[in-house]
Structure 1
Amino acid sequence: MADRIGFIGVGRMGGPIGRRFLERGYELAIRDVDDQAVLPFKGRAGVTICGSPREVAARAAVVLLSLPLPATLDDVALGADGLAAAAERPVVIDLSTVGVRTTRRVAGALGAAGFGYLDAPVSGGVSGAVQGTLAVMVSGDPELFAAWKALLSVVGKNVFYVGAAPGQAQAMKLANNMLSATALVATAEAMVVATKAGIPPPVALDILNASSGRNSATQEKFPRSVLTGTFDFGFLLKLMLKDVKLFEELAEELAVPTIVAESVANVWRIGVTLGLGSQDLTAIAQLYERWAGVEIRATDSRPMPEDTPGGRAESCTKSSR
């Protein structure tokens, strides 16, 4: 039982994390409502596919959750066939981003029923899940954290203890995602201006990444998923809107004004309204492309130094200042 992990939610993020545990010799008891998510695990040694969260709880000493929405966590934890309905009381570690209010409520209900609970959202995207390089933010009982920290180190190389209260890790994750969402829309806005001004997008990104405008969007999302036109970074646009809205909800509870977050959330709302919600989050750049009438794409060639005044494109690209 100690070497068997329960895992509920084996989709974009949970699937790669689950496979990392299999590769390290753990057995898995998994559950997902999406048959396509379960398919890669069928027939694999050490995997038991369960019909409900309650069955998962019966088969493992610890259950990890990787779920998309607050309502999904409510159902998995407290539904008629959920974890709370099980006779067994495993430790529950929630890797999802579901907001502070939902986490407090679920942690309180499961705690009252005798479950251990760690709030442990992750950051780093699908590639981080595959490589085990995620950042893991954890809040909950410090002794419980100490007991399961090694397990979480399989999930991510940076495991941070945030505090004793469930929900504190969610607050940290929402702050992170608000900044990430802001960087992405701000980069899209800046890049369409640069592109429409006649600067090749790859050159513009090189300069930004060697300058003070550098951020996660310029370094990772745009080179990988926007310049290529693939829009496949691995996180749905509508889920980013969900996270920004949860940040606004928390800020309102704490009586903190969110002038920037409101503007950023409006861009993501427009994206969902215009039908981009089920596309990759990097598709938010397509909004700015439509408005500006340009595409932010890599070209076959970049201007040579002699084609720019004083060879400035090359010097800026190579500079670290």
Structure 2
Amino acid sequence: MIEGNLLVTGCAGFIGFHLTERLLKIGQPVVGIDNLNDYYDPALKRARLDRLEQNAGFTFLQVDLADRAETKKLFERYRFEVVLHLAAQAGVRYSLANPHAYADSNLGGFLNVLEGCRHTSCRHLLFASSSSVYGANTKLPFSVHDNVDHPVSLYAATKKANELLAHSYSHLYGLPTTGLRFFTVYGPWYRPDMALYLFADAITKGRPIDLFNNGNMRRDFTYVDDVTEAMVRLIGLAPEGDPGWSGDHPDPGSSKAPWRIYNIGNNKPEDLMHVVGLLEKEFGRQAVKRMLPMQPGDVPATYADVTDLAHDIGFRPQTRIEDGVAKFVAWYREYYRI
């Protein structure tokens, strides 16, 4: 339990909602903010909020972190002890069509959060990065100790920039920051722009599903409850840095400053066609498959090395894809009354 105020940004988003709900269930009061933008149907975000607002320990404020003045007021009012920053403009493909949204939210908004933490003595900032930062890397599994200087999408570049900005604040101001590289998180209350949701929608409506790279894709699907478990355990593990570090080249995953990076992944990539098969089984329908070439900004495989995460918090994501897909489909059927 955190004695001071705790902030979850993007609390109406997919991961933010699950994290907030988990914190409330263990008795931790939460201040949650979201700008409720229309990147996808705001009704889904409102439905998530309706669940959260049933808990007396939850306080919601509609705030756009790209608004510097409003963000400053928020931090000055609550002086958060811990900040879990999940708000961002998401989506690899959307970044090709609307790049300025990513600059405003993922760069400007993140800088405003850092400034808020800096000036109000926040004790730990945890923020969402992404497996997309591995970009053109081909060595598998992806390790936080690998260099990640070759992003292949603007979205990935903004997430890499977040890690660099956080490091500079950790170095300059002693702000403890922890970056979390999420690997294809899925589950109930899923985002409608993500593959499993799109596949489910198409299968139930008899439309074709688009399979890029002719379906030859592998993803380290990570169930959302595993993600929230890892995050809750990391809240109290504010990095202290390694003042005794020496060498000619710093470790990309750690630092002399109080800054750390972790992979949050299942450590077990799944063939996309296998996942499609699981959806077909759960819905009792065959998918109409449309094979397409690789999309710009996409990568053929993701695979998380979670050695550091397991060592530091004694936990690694482990939900079987069969169980996770079944839970997602059960929610989808209930929510859409199928």
Q: Pick the structure with greater CA Rg.
A: 1
Q: Which has the higher helix share?
A: 1
- TM-score, length-normalised on structure 2? 0.42
Higher RCO (C-alpha 8 Å, min separation 6): 2
- TM-score, length-normalised on structure 1? 0.44
